[in-house]
Structure 1
Amino acid sequence: LQIEYSNQIFSYFKENRGDENEEFIFSSFVMMWGNTGHAEHLDELYEMLDDDSPLWNHAINSLGNLYHRNEDLEAEAFIEKLHELEHRLTDPISLSQLMTYLTRHYKREGDNEMVLDYARKMIELNASDWFVDFGLGEIYELESLQIGQPAPELIAETIRGEPVSLEDNSGRFVLLEFWGSWCGPCIPEIPYLKTVHESFEDDQLVVIGIALDRDTETVEAFMEEHEMTWPQILQTDMFNGELVNAFNIGGVPAMYLIGPDGVIVTRNLRGEEMVEEVSRLVSEYFE
């Protein structure tokens, strides 16, 4: 159904270029393409958009989804396309959106040199405060949040009013899980967190949740529903929260494992891989 609707909206878009709602119309069909992997008109779209069009800003992420969901397209082909567009696009916001996508791509690939390069380019371009802050955050993470570096200071209060800090947990591992009750991908991680939480004594490992939510009641209700018994710290400012910024969290779920000496041991693992790696590290340390 989305494919049919997207084709209709795309036809309307072509016939009504310059419409006052052009950006909304464009983002609607390109989002549906991303949801379905529908690529029938992809080449036509590439030919239609001028290099100075602000519509590229609305296309980047959705087209990335399209390439990932279409079995006939290679995700790497989209990265190559972005590198081509990087030298053509002139709209600062669109170019910054492109660089954001490439930064995240190379971050997943572990290519810190490319991450640093694009972060600096975004800061220099200065298209908006958001993109500048994103670039600064990536540089901060490269300089201060790598495995083997001391974790940022954490001093807070749980939603039940109990003080908590990394210093107070010295001598044991601390697994920090950043999440939100509104976050769909966070839910499948809960059983794995339970496994880790229940596998070790409190003097070996503690799990601390950092919830990006608006109020305590929402978090408590979610905890009860999903039987989450580990302590939670609330960040009502969401992605502007103090701890969220300290650990440069740009999306959830996200995790950090802090060692008994306060040093970052590993990060951003999920599912069974997270359970296996955390279990290995803790068991080896205390054997």
Structure 2
Amino acid sequence: MKLKLLIAIAIAPFMAIAQKPDFTITGKIGNLNAPAKIYIDYSSEGKGKSDSATFVNGTFKFTGNIAGIASSRMTLSREGIRDKEIYGTKGLGDVIYVSFGKENIQINSADSLYNARWTGSKVYNELQAFDKEVGPTVMTVHHNANVAISRATPEQQKDSLYFKSLDKQVQAFRKSRGEKMLAFAKVNPDSYFALQALSESVSGYGIKSDVILPLFNKLSEPLRLSYTGQGLYKILNSTTVTALGSKAPDFTQKDVNGKAVSLSDFKGKYVLVEFWASWCSPCRAESPNLLKQYAVYKDKGFEILGVSVDHDKAKWIEAIKKDGLTWPQVSDLKGWESDARKVYGISGVPANFLIAPDGKIIGSHLMGEVLNKKLAELLN
């Protein structure tokens, strides 16, 4: 008994050292108090974690451990309900997507998380410089479009030309960012955000691997050998599997009722395999458009198969109900380790593949008006 006690005392200091947090985020946003809460979801080198904090006179604090640079989403809910703030505000929730390192960071704002000023983070400053060079993120573009819609006159909100004009602006921003990200990666081979740019180019813009692979090969060795780098490398070498004209890989996962559903079950129809997640704001922002397209074409040989990369079944089902999604939904609830995600080699969501009745892939990464035009060509 004494020996066990001595061993426990001996290893205690080492356990304390191992568990010491290597990042701290301290914030002050106005004078918020409970029930207001702030949430953070972050991942680093393949390991993720979620946390939350209640405001006390506007202050909050997060601490934790990360393996390297972390990608995160932070959400402020004045009602202390995370999902309501993100998805119940027509795209105007107080949500930000940021990267940070093993740093002591301060966040300050008089009114919101979205407008907060960050200090103490070299990684965050590099992210800001990156976004300034390549243009606003997809999330920022959609947020700004939703702000414009919320401020539009009643006449504008009924005008289809007004919405087409906004969509045209969104697509122009996306195209510009896609081009500039490749240029950034070319001239900044030592930057972590060069690797992020290439990953985003694959997942969000569908840029082909033969364009990205030469740029990837010129990145610094630490970046190429990192968890993110190796993940991207595997995706770049697997894109031939999902190239246009290729036979779509079949897979089987369970629906919300536990019934096994296979992609091959829908052979003979045009099928949009839609990868998404309950926690993905851009995914959920696309839901209204998918609902409209589904209503128009579901009786004309069109189907959607939603494939979630969630790990929490309750949140997955709740998101389906909140968004009113009526097409088949499946998930193996393995989160980012989803077998279907690995087979299709996607590095981010939303992502999709359009499959013809003969089972061949005829489109990928089709969003908004681009998807609408494609469906109209095929099914009208």
> 1:125-140 counterparts in 2 under 5 A?
126-140=224-238
2:361 alignment counterpart: 264
Matched, 1:156 2:240: no
Whose strand proportion is higher, 1 or 2?
2
Q: 1:236 aligned to 2:333?
A: yes
Verify: 1:99 aligned to 2:195, yes or no. Answer: yes
Q: Check conservation: 2:202, 2:346, Cα contact below 8 A.
A: no
Judging changes above 3 Å, is the alpha-carbon distance between structure 1 residues 210 and 161 closer, same or farther for their aligned structure 2 residues? Answer: same
Q: Which amino acid in 2 is paired with 1:249? A: I
User: Identity across aligned pairs (percent)?
Assistant: 22
Q: Which runs of 5+ in 1 are unaligned?
A: 6-20, 30-34, 39-54, 90-94
Distance 1:22 1:96 in 2: 11
- By how many angstroms is 1:77 displaced? 7.1
- Once residues 252 and 349 of structure 2 are traced to their aligned partners in structure 1, the CA distance between those partners, rounded to angstroms, is 21
Secondary structure of 1:178's aligned partner: strand
Q: How many Å apart are 1:233 and its aligned residue?
A: 0.8
In the alignment, is the contact (CA less than 8 A) between 1:106 and 1:114 conserved in 2? no
Q: CA contact under 8 A between 1:157 and 1:163: conserved in structure 2?
A: yes
Distance change >3 Å, CA 252–CA 78, structure 1 → 2: closer
Query: Match of 1:145?
Result: 242
Provide the residue aligned with 1:44 in structure 2: none
The 1-side partners of 2:331 and 2:195 are apart by 31
Describe the superposition over 1:40-62 as per-residue Cα deviations: whole angstroms up to 9, x where unpaired.
xxxxxxxxxxxxxxx97665543
Kept after mapping to 2: 8 A contact 1:239/1:250: no
Select which of 103, 106, 111 maps to 1:24. Answer: 103
Alpha-carbon distance change, 58 to 237 in structure 1, aligned in 2, over 3 angstroms:
farther
TM (norm. structure 2) is 0.52
Structure 2 counterpart of 1:85:
188
Kept after mapping to 2: 8 A contact 1:119/1:136: no
Residue 132 (structure 2) aligns with: 66
Q: Which one-letter code corresponds to 1:269 in the other structure? A: L
Flag the structure with more relative contact order, 1 or 2, with Cα contacts below 8 A and sequence separation at least 6. 1
CA contact (8 A) 2:354 2:361 kept: yes
Counterpart of 1:153, as a letter, is D
Q: What secondary structure does 2:238 align onto?
A: helix
Question: Is contact 1:122–1:132 with CA below 8 Å preserved after alignment?
Answer: no
Residue of structure 2 in register with 1:186 after alignment: 283
SS of the residue aligned with 1:193? helix
Amino acid at match of 2:362: V
**Does the CA contact (< 8 Å) of 2:206 and 2:364 recur in 1?**
no
Q: CA 1:267–1:129 in structure 2 vs 1: closer, same or farther (change >3 Å)?
A: same
Contact in 2 for aligned 1:145/1:264 (Cα 8 Å): yes
- Write the distance in 2 (CA, Å) between the matches of 1:179 and 1:27: 32
CA shift for structure 1 position 209:
0.8
Residue 269 of structure 2 contacts residue 303 of structure 2 at CA under 8 Å; is this kept in 1? yes
In the aligned structure 2, how far is the partner of 1:244 from the partner of 1:124? 26
Q: How far 1:63 sits from its partner (Å)?
A: 2.3
Answer yes or no: is 1:199 the counterpart of 2:289: no
Structure 2: 5+ residue stretches without partners: 1-28, 30-99, 109-113, 137-175
Task: Measure the CA separation in 1 of the matches of 2:202 and 2:314.
Answer: 38
Which whole-Å deviations, capped at 9, do the CAs of 1:98-145 have from their partners, x for residues lacking one?
A: 23424644884846433121344569654323311211212211x221
| Distance of aligned partners of 1:209 and 1:84 in 2 relative to their CA distance in 1, 3 Å threshold | closer
Aligned-partner SS, 1:200: helix
| 3-state secondary structure, aligned to 1:257 | strand
The corresponding residue for 2:163 is none
CA distance in 1, matches of 2:182, 2:252: 40
Tell me the equivalent position of 1:16.
Answer: none
Task: Evaluate the alpha carbon distance shift between residue 201 and residue 110 of structure 1 in structure 2; reply closer, same or farther with a 3 A threshold.
Answer: closer
Residue matched to 2:319: 222
